[in-house]
Amino acid sequence: MQTGFYSSAAGMVAQFNRLDTISNNLANVNTTGFKQDNLVIGDFMRLYKEARDELPIENQTKDGAQFINRTMARAPQVVDSFTDHSVGNMQKTGNSLDFALSKEGLFFAVQTPEGVRLTRDGSFTMDDEGKLRTKQGYEVLSEDYKSGGSVTFSTKDSVIVADKNGKLFTNLPNSANLTENSKLFIAHPDNLALLKKEGNNLFKYDGIEESESVEESGALLQGFEEKSNVNAVRMMTQMIETNRLVGMYQKAMTTQMDDMNNEAIQKIAKRT
C-alpha cells in the first residue's frame, strides 16, 4: 500500500478545510462584531496519544493498540476548531442606537424564532412600534424580558443615553431631564467553547434562557461599533501558505502515483 499517497491526499483535504475557514474569515472582515475561526491540524500519532486509554478495541488490549498504531498512517487531519473571541477594534459612529462591548466574553441577547441567541453586533435599529431590533429584525432583549419587559422607546424620546452597564435613559417630554427606560440584557457565558455559530452573527448557547444579565459589566460603549477581529493581512498570508501546501501535497501525490509506479514497472520489465 502506498501510504505516502494516502497521507498526501489526507493532508490536501485538511488544507482545503483550512482554505474554507480562511475564506470565510476574509469574507467577514468588515462584518460588525464577527469573530474569526481557526483550525487545529494534527496527525494520527497525536490523536493516538490523546485517546490511547479509550481505544475502541476489545478489553483495551496492548496488542490491539499496537496493531492500530502500526496500520494507521500518520495523515494530517483537522483535529479541532475554535473561535477567537478577542475584542475587535472600536469604531465611533455617533449613532445613539449603536452599542459595543469593550470586554471579551460579553454578548447582547436577542429573540429569534429558534429561541434566545447571543451576538456581539450592537448596530441596532428601532421598528415602527419603538422596539429595539437588530438589522435582521430580531428583538433586542432587556434585563427583565422574562417577566414581559422590552426595550421600547416613544416617538417623543428625542434623547437616548446609555451608561457603561447597559442602563438606558430617555428624556422627559418637552424636557432635557432624563428618566430610566430599561436595561439591556448583557450575557456572560461560563464557557465560550460551548458557543455555536448559527449565521447572521448569532451564537447559540444552551441554557442561556436560565442565565441572568450581568449587573455591572462596565463594558458598554454607546455610539460605537465593534469591528471584526479578523486580521486581513494575516489571513492573506495564511491563504498563500495554504495554497503552497496544497501544491506540495499534489506534487507528492503525482510522484507517488506516476514517477514511482513507472520506475517500478520499468524495473520489473527489465527483470522479466
Per residue in 192-232, pLDDT (tens digit) is: 989 999 988 999 999 888 889 999 999 999 999 999 999 99
From 14-23, 93-102, 256-265, the region with the lowest mean pLDDT: 256-265
135, 199: one domain: yes
Residue 76, pLDDT score: 73
Q: Is 164 helix (H, G, I), strand (E, B) or coil?
A: coil
Name the one residue in this structure whose C-alpha cell is 450575557.
187
pLDDT tens column, 182-192: 999 999 999 99
**Cα 161 from Cα 157, distance rounded (Å):** 10
Q: Is 84 in a helix, a strand, or coil?
A: coil
Asked if residue 239 and residue 170 are part of one domain, the reply reads: no
Specify whether 77 is located in the same domain as 120. no
Q: Quick one: 120 and 152 in the same domain? A: yes
- Which of these three, 189, 208, 226, is where a domain ends? 226
Same domain, 69 and 195: no
Together in a domain, 75 and 98: no
Euclidean distance between CA atoms 171 and 156, whole angstroms: 8
State pLDDT tens for residues 143-159: 999 888 889 988 777 78
Residue 26 has phi, psi (to 5 degrees) of -65, -35
Q: Read off φ and ψ for residue 180, nearest 5 degrees.
A: -70, 130
Domain with 152 in it: 90-226
Residue 40: what are its φ and ψ, rounded to 5°? -115, 120
Q: Which three cell numbers stand for residue 211?
A: 442565565
Pull the grid cell for residue 112.
429569534
Do 249 and 222 lie in a common domain?
no
Same domain, 47 and 142: no
* Beta bridge mates, 81: 39
Residue 65 in this model has a pLDDT that exceeds 70:
no
Span 32-47, average pLDDT? 79
Report the domain count for the chain: 2
- Tens-place pLDDT, residues 49-60: 555 555 555 545
pLDDT of residue 263: 64
221 and 236 inside one domain: no
Structure pTM?
A: 0.78
107 and 213 in a common domain: yes
* Angstrom distance (rounded) from CA 3 to CA 17: 21
Give the Cα separation of 138 and 1 in Å (integer): 55
* Distance from C-alpha of 200 to C-alpha of 130, rounded to nearest angstrom: 23
- If asked whether residues 156 and 257 sit together in one domain, one would say no
Does residue 118 share a domain with residue 39? no
pLDDT at residue 11, as a whole number: 79
Quick one: pLDDT at residue 171? 85
What are the φ and ψ backbone dihedral angles of 29, each rounded to 5 degrees? -65, -25
